[in-house]
Structure 1
Amino acid sequence: MSSKPSTQKASASAAMPEKDNTSAKINQIETRQKAINHNNVARVANSHLTSAADDLHVLHSLKTAKPIDRFPGTAKDIVKLSDTLVDAMLLALEEERKGTRDQKVERLRVQFGLKANPA
């Protein structure tokens, strides 16, 4: 009796999780790219705002490609964000979260497409 059929079945079933893993990675890359594209457009639009009271274009999480929760409505609302929300937004954008609150807010403003320090 030959062991070839069972060996073929084992290698075929081992290939299935590998294929599923590849498919999942492709989906992750597509999701990330979709968010990056959206965020680039939003940053450009935000960079053209003329007032701190103008509505911000919402950025999307790089992991989910969905709008970032509790995104500030305007540039002047950024300073009102809690430390936890600032960290959560930086995390959603996969940005560095070290430093003082002022450094984090500056980093967040740049990520939004705004000047780091408003005049």
Structure 2
Amino acid sequence: MAAQETPSAPAKTPAQTAKPYGTAAAAAEKAKKATKAPAKAEEDKPSPEEALKAVEKLETKTKAVNANNIARVANSQLTANNENLLPLMSLKTGKPIEKFPATSKDIEKLSVTTVDAILNALEADRAGAEPIKKEKLRLQIGLKPNPA
């Protein structure tokens, strides 16, 4: 008499046994973290004081950006290099930037350290050599680029 065969599950294909990778792996990892998130979300929630400070910081930056845009428009209308510039505000403090040049011809007199400090206060790119930085400052102020 022949032995009776018991029905068994069919063998899985390599696609069914493969571990997720790429986008699928990232989605799976994200889903795994999402199930743990509710308990952690309470820990990460900022205190009312921290939230108020964040709002005040954002408000300061927004006011400075608006004031700077107005100053840039006014500065862009200047026709001579000895006309007074409207100073820009620091995006970090909301106050006028220290050592801001009074006129466009004063930009050339600034040290590279001062130019860096002004660009930093405007959260602008500071890469490049001194002439490049001064040109970036001219553009941040609202002036036309120096002709080549």
Larger Rg over CA atoms: 2
What is the aligned partner in structure 2 of residue 7 from structure 1? none
Cα deviations across residues 29-85 of structure 1 (Å, max 9, x unaligned)? 000001000000000000000100000000000011100001111000000000110
Query: Runs of 4+ in structure 1 displaced over 6 angstroms?
Result: none
TM-score (normalizing by structure 1): 0.84
Q: Which runs of 5+ in 2 are unaligned?
A: 1-42
Pick the aligned partner of 2:88 from 52, 59, 66: 59
Identity across the alignment (%)? 53
Q: Which residue of 2 aligns with 1:104?
A: 133
Per-residue CA distance 1:93-112 (angstroms, 9 max, x = gap): 00111101111001000000
Q: Which residue of 2 aligns with 1:73?
A: 102
Alignment correspondent of 1:94: 123
Unaligned stretches of 5+ in structure 1?
1-13
Higher relative contact order (CA 8 A, sep 6+): 1
Alpha-carbon distance in 2 for matches of 1:44, 1:118: 20
Q: Distance between the aligned counterparts of 1:68 and 1:59, measured in 2?
A: 6
How many angstroms apart in 1 are the aligned matches of 2:56 and 2:145? 33
Q: How far apart, CA to CA, are the structure 2 residues paired with 1:52 and 1:111?
A: 16
- What is the aligned-residue RMSD (CA, Å)? 1.8
Cα distance in 2 between the residues matched to 1:22 and 1:39: 26
Give the Cα–Cα distance (whole angstroms) in 2 for the partners of residues 103 and 74 of structure 1: 19
| CA–CA separation in structure 2 for the residues paired with 1:39 and 1:118 | 24
Counterpart-to-counterpart distance in 2, 1:86 and 1:79: 10
Task: Report the alpha carbon displacement of residue 117 of structure 1 after superposing the two structures with TM.
Answer: 1.1
Q: Which amino acid aligns with 2:134?
A: V
